[in-house]
Amino acid sequence: MTSKSQLELLNSSHQSKVLKAAIFSRFVLFILSILWRTLLAPYDTSASLNPTCRRNPPLPSPLLPSLGSAIENGVIWDSVYFVRIAQCGYEYEQSYAFLPLLPACIFAFSRTVFAPLDTIIGYRAVLALSGYVVCNVAFIFTAMYFYRTPMLHCRLPFCFALIQRPYSTHQYILRACMPCFQLVDATI
Q: What is the DSSP string of 123-179?
A: HHHHHHHHHHHHHHHHHHHHHHHHHHHHHHHT----------SS-SHHHHHHHHHHH
pLDDT, residue 10, reads: 55
Residue 153 has pLDDT above 90, yes or no: no
Question: In which domain, by residue range, is 59 found?
Answer: 3-45+53-187
Answer yes or no: pTM beyond 0.85: no
CA distances from 58 to 24, 114, 121, 188 (A): 38, 20, 15, 56
pLDDT, tens digit (0-9, with 9 covering 90-100), for 105-143: 999 999 999 999 999 999 999 999 999 999 999 888 888
Classify residue 77 by its DSSP letter. Answer: T
Whole-number pLDDT of residue 99: 86
Residues 163, 178: Cα–Cα separation, whole Å: 19
> Which of 175 and 97 is assigned the larger pLDDT?
97
pLDDT score at 162:
44
Distance of CA 176 to the CA centre of its chain: 16
Task: Report the candidate in 32, 54, 27 with the shortest Cα–Cα distance to residue 139.
Answer: 27
What would the pLDDT profile of 83-105 be if each residue is shown by its tens digit? 999 999 998 888 888 889 999 99
Instruction: Convert the pLDDT of each residue in 48-82 to its tens digit.
Output: 667 778 777 777 889 999 898 888 888 888 888 89
Fill in the amino acid letter for 8: E
Mean pLDDT of the chain: 79
Q: What is the pLDDT of residues 5-20, one digit of tens each?
A: 555 655 566 778 888 9
Side chain identity at residue 3, one-letter code: S
The number of domains in the chain is 1
Does the pLDDT of residue 38 top 70, yes or no?
yes
pLDDT at 22 over 80: yes
**Is 97 within 8 Å of 84 (Cβ atoms)?**
no
